[in-house]
Chains A and B, each alone.
Chain A
Amino acid sequence: MAVTESPAKGRRRFWLLDLYGSAVGKKWAMALSGIGLLGFVVAHMIGNLHMYEGAAEMNEYGEYLRIIGGPILPHTVFLWLIRLPLLAAFLIHIHAAYALTITNNHATIDKYKQPREWLAASYASRTMRWSGVIVLLFVAWHLADLTLGWVNPDFISGEPFHNTVVSLSNVGIAALYIVANIALGMHIFHGAWSLFQSIGVNNPRFNRWRRWFAQALATVIVIGNISFPVMILTGVVG
């Protein structure tokens, strides 16, 4: 009898596509790509601490990234093996965010006349899409500045220490880096907590730690990254 028929019917797509087709699935995608990006941000920040060791160490570190895996792997192959998934994660993160924003705009056609009084939502959580856009624009600038050298005043390939110092000695550029990293910090402040919810990592025993983890991570990243322009401007590094 039809009474006991299952509610889900029909042929199914490949499960990952099917999952990504839903908003919950897109949140999964955002969380997982976010984890990848977070990993990069942390590694990037730690690697850059070589700045404090001096130009030789920093440049050696930069060069080493290109020769990892050698002599088996050709030059920069390993780096690209990292870069490509990272790029994919970045694109997925952006696409999912964009698609979810569209969904949410459709769901909220009408706004309240009285401004909302927020009880739980933080400033960071409510500005994710703006902090995200700032970070995106910053990444574009950052690549043009220190990876490709297009906007760097005196770009020398293979000398990241020099490139960084000449760029961040400019107060305007340094300010740009500081603002962008604060935006990144806010993004992480909410994102690094939110991702646990999105992928269902939830246990009353350690739920408090999720907040602490996100706050600590955001703090470390912001302090670490901002220290470079500050130290260069103040002449400690350079």
Chain B
Amino acid sequence: MDLTLQVWRQAGPNAPGRLVDYPVKDISPDMSFLEMLDIVNEGLNAQGIEPIAFDHDCREGICGMCGLMINGLAHGPQLGTATCQLHMRKFKDGDTIVIEPWKAAGFPIVRDLAVDRSTFDRIIEAGGFITVPTGSASDANLTLVPKEVADWSMDAAACIGCGACVAACPNSAAQLFTAAKIAHLSLLPQGQPERWTRVEAMVDKMEEFFGSCTNHGECETACPKEISIDFIALMNKDYMKAKFKNRRLVSQTG
């Protein structure tokens, strides 16, 4: 198939950016979207034009490195799929495809389609963990976790940190990312001792970089792991409780 790409090119973090047209020929529908970009880059390199920079790594939909805004949709038209698992058979011969990077104040552009998502690391550093110094754990089966709880926690833990939720949100909010991590840890018995400090610290850190939630639900549909906005509700509830409670007294009681 033949396509026209309109790709965001930006030489560096502070350089101006613009959409540049690239005609592409003979693309096989079995190619993945990123392999299509590989071919475009191979062609650009041969012509002496610097290849398009884009983040990608595992190409199995799990590392969370890739992420492109494709025709106004985060990760493109196939739901529940990261960009690397999107295949060209989802497009038609003659299509024009607009490819842009994630755009949010919290994700400054590094170059072309690559962005800096280290703000996500800052959120995790603020409280997205269970404090358990190596070697201090007791036997794993001493802590019982009902299967439903483990499953629900796993639903949240499936987040790959790609940033599509932020990219898709009209407010550039990172609620789904933050809520998923909070829920993953706070649903489990192991996560209870730090439950209130965690939600407070992570939300406060999140708000330094990202917008607020207007409950559009765009994040949920953009998420390649289809993480539910139910977790955002859980976070909102816990955040209020965390502010209200005297944590020193109630940290153990939920």
Q: Residue on B with the closest CB to A122? A: B216
**Interface flag for B54 (CB, 8 Å):** no
| A113: chain B residues within 8 A (beta carbon) | 6, 8, 19, 98, 100
* Size bracket of the B interface: 35 or more
Contact between chains at A7 and B216 (CB < 8 Å): no
Contact between chains at A107 and B105 (CB < 8 Å): yes
Contact between chains at A108 and B243 (CB < 8 Å): no
Of A8, A26, A194, the residue contacting B197 (CB under 8 A) is A8
Q: Which of B19, B172, B215, B222 counts the most A-chain CB atoms under 10 A from its CB?
A: B215
Q: What is the distance, in angstroms, from A198's C-beta to the closest C-beta of chain B?
A: 6
Q: Residue on B with the closest CB to A20? A: B243
Interface residues of A in 115-173 (CB under 8 A from B): 115-122, 125-126, 128
**Interface flag for B103 (CB, 8 Å):** yes
| A100: chain B residues within 8 A (beta carbon) | 212, 214
Contact between chains at B170 and A121 (CB < 8 Å): yes
Q: Residue on A with the closest CB to B133? A: A3
**Interface flag for A208 (CB, 8 Å):** no
**Interface flag for A234 (CB, 8 Å):** no
| A120: chain B residues within 8 A (beta carbon) | 216-218, 220-221
| A190: chain B residues within 8 A (beta carbon) | 215
Against A, the Cβ 8 Å flags (1 = close, 0 = not) of B80-107 are 0000000000000000001010011110
Contact between chains at B243 and A194 (CB < 8 Å): no
CA distance A118 to B170 in the complex (A): 10
Q: What is the distance, in angstroms, from B94's C-beta to the closest C-beta of chain A?
A: 17
Contact between chains at A4 and B221 (CB < 8 Å): no
Known: A3-B131, A110-B105, A114-B72. 5 other contacts (CB 8 A): A8-B200, A27-B212, A113-B19, A113-B100, A198-B213
Q: Which residues of A contact B (CB under 8 A)?
A: 3-4, 6-8, 15-16, 18-19, 22-28, 100, 103-104, 106-122, 125-126, 128, 190, 193-194, 196-202, 204, 207
